[in-house]
């Protein structure tokens, strides 16, 4: 098995997928705000959705459609600029109308259309703009329009997120590609972040669902910008078999690893583009009593405003890391614990090493950083990714609606 990262292609890197991204007038600034992703043949679909109980209308409708279609999809419609969340029966009607109009234009069953939205919560989504925009998007579809779709799903994102890879299975190649959006309100708890991944491999439903969940757990579920779980979070995966490569139990590992590599690149792009972010921070927790403890402690560190502001300011304040680890609600042994920033060990087995603070401070001037905490309680570990917390994050979110 081999995995080759590719430089471009994104969500249309896989054969048999076409896309478009246009302006439907949902955003007041006139920027692109409607994306349409289509498989030219029926595709097997798998998805994971937010665990937030304030669930948005498009999540409700997409779940219904996956159930009714038996996990078969032809298209995904994504709008930005309006989350269509907490909008009651009217919001559900708009989500269903969106799917119906796309199905009419593409000549497929309505339950084979999935929908997703991102933007401001509690605002009505203008159905007439969606209808006219879909007609425009259907005319603009192309295998070279994946980048347009990636731009159309952005809200506060500073740049579009795309990734693609190729895997070799049995002497043949299959492609996996994807796009994602997310910048703030990022703490995916899959069981506002959206990701859409395609592959031209044929993958049986149980293996497709399993691969998606395993990939998401180690990528999208291992990132955080601000600890906030959106009403609209979802990751959707379509597999149409156009390459002729068929995944089975023997080749499952190759497919899962390729999928994970694409999802990881997209997930790291979300963190790099976090609202107000200036640094990508890898948080490594070792010495945990269990993998669950390791992930819990790593997420606690990644979401700590004190840790994130210290990193933004270049302050090697190891005490903040120890304090978070100690209150994370996991097994922790202070006399065996350690904290490392970059390669500088600042605290080890109950003893501080402040003589190394200047080395750590110099390291923190960089933009790709690693902080490590050993809990001293076992042999399990976990890695998550976050970003620093800056005044720009406050500015963006203080006037998001106004």
Q: Where are the domains of the chain?
A: 2-272, 280-398
User: Please, is 400 exposed, middle or buried when counting C-beta atoms within 10 Å of its C-beta (0-12, 13-18, 19+)?
Assistant: middle
Per-residue pLDDT reduced to its tens digit, 123-156: 999 999 999 999 999 999 999 999 999 999 999 8
Respond yes or no: is residue 50 known to be catalytic: no
Reduced to 3 states, what is the DSSP secondary structure of residue 34? Answer: strand
What global pTM score does this model have? 0.91
Quickly state the pLDDT bin for 398 (edges 50, 70, 90): confident
User: What average pLDDT does range 183-200 have in this prediction?
Assistant: 76
**3.60.70.12, 1.10.10.10, 3.40.50.300, 3.40.50.620: CATH of 2-272:** 3.60.70.12
Pick the catalytic residue: 87, 118, 192, 340?
A: 192
Closest CA to 348 of 356, 357, 339: 339
Closest CA to 116 of 176, 40, 225, 33: 33
User: What average pLDDT does range 296-304 have in this prediction?
Assistant: 96
Reduced to 3 states, what is the DSSP secondary structure of residue 142? Answer: strand
What was the pLDDT predicted at 137?
Answer: 98
User: DSSP code of 80?
Assistant: E
CATH code assigned to 280-398:
3.10.20.340
Q: Give dist(CA 70, CA 73) in Å, integer.
A: 9
Q: Give dist(CA 149, CA 391) in Å, integer.
A: 30
Q: Which two tokens stand for residue 211?
A: 């691969």
User: What average pLDDT does range 252-272 have in this prediction?
Assistant: 95
Lowest mean pLDDT among 190-204, 282-296, 334-348: 190-204
- For the chain, what is the mean pLDDT? 94
What strand order describes the sheet that includes 338-341? 351-352, 344-348, 338-341, 368-374, 280-288, 380-387
């Amino acid at each position: 098995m081999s995995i080759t990262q590719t430089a471009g292609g994104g969500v249309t890197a896989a054969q048999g997928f076409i896309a478009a991204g246009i302006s439907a007038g949902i955003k007041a600034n006139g920027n692109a705000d409607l994306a349409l992703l289509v498989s030219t043949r029926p595709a097997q679909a798998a998805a994971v959705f937010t665990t937030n109980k304030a669930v948005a209308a498009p999540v409700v409708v997409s779940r219904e459609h996956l159930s009714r279609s038996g996990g078969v999809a032809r298209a995904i419609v994504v709008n930005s600029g309006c989350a269509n969340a907490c909008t009651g029966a009217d919001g559900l009607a708009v989500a269903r109308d969106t799917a119906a109009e796309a199905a009419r234009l593409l000549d497929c069953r309505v339950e084979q259309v999935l929908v997703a939205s991102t933007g401001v919560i509690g605002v009505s989504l203008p159905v007439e703009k969606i209808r006219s925009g879909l007609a425009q998007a259907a005319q603009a579809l192309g295998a070279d329009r994946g980048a347009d779709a990636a731009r159309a799903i952005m809200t506060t994102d500073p740049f579009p997120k795309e990734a693609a890879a190729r895997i070799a299975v049995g002497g043949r190649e299959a492609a996996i590609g994807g796009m994602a959006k997310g910048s703030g309100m990022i703490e995916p708890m899959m069981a506002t972040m959206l990701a859409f991944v395609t592959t031209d491999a044929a993958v049986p439903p149980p293996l497709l669902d399993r691969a998606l969940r395993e990939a998401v757990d180690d990528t999208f579920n291992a990132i955080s910008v601000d600890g906030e779980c959106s009403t609209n979070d979802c990751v959707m995966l379509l597999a149409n078999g156009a390459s002729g490569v068929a995944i089975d139990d023997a080749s499952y590992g190759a497919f899962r690893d390729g999928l994970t590599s694409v999802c990881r690149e997209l997930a790291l792009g979300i963190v790099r583009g976090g609202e107000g972010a200036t640094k990508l921070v890898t948080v490594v927790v070792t010495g945990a009593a269990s993998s669950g403890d390791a992930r819990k402690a790593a997420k606690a560190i990644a979401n700590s405003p004190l840790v994130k502001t210290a990193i933004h300011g270049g302050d090697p304040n190891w005490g903040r890391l120890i304090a978070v680890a100690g209150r994370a609600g996991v097994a922790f042994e202070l006399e065996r614990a350690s904290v490392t920033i970059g390669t500088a060990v600042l605290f080890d087995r109950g003893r501080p090493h402040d003589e190394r603070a200047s080395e750590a401070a110099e390291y923190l001037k960089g933009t790709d950083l690693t902080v490590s905490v050993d809990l001293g309680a076992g042999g399990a570990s976990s890695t998550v990714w976050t970003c620093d917390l800056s005044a720009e994050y406050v500015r963006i979110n203080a006037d998001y609606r106004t």
